[in-house]
Amino acid sequence: MDSDDAWCESKIEQQLEALVKEPGSRICHTDEIWIRNGVRVNPMNKHFKSGGNIFEQCLPRCVVSPSTVLIHRSVFEDFGCFDEELPACEDYDLWLRLTAKLPVTY
């Protein structure tokens, strides 16, 4: 979670409920609310979020926001963590590795 991020109170509970409905899923991400200069702004359509097999949607740009994700720890055991050797975009690299093989609950 970034220092300027905040979670809604029921975020984790809602994500756990969604994962219970999809027992094979080990990753869940959500929408996010963007605030700039104290004003809520709407993300552009290119940042549209969805679930399922989202690898192709992830290719043009990073559509998974780290602060929205709930991941079962076995995913890290199976696929590794953020590649700290990368100079940037270590989250994007991880999302591509994961979504190439795993569905994502939304």
CB 7 within 8 A of CB 67: yes
Query: Which residues contact residue 30 at a Cβ distance below 8 angstroms, ignoring those fewer than 6 apart?
Result: 11, 14, 15, 49, 68, 106
- How much is the CA Rg of the chain, to the nearest whole Å? 14
Q: What is the pLDDT along the chain (106 residues), one digit of tens a residue?
A: 677 788 889 999 999 999 999 988 999 999 888 788 888 887 777 677 889 999 999 999 889 989 899 999 999 999 999 999 999 999 999 999 999 999 999 9
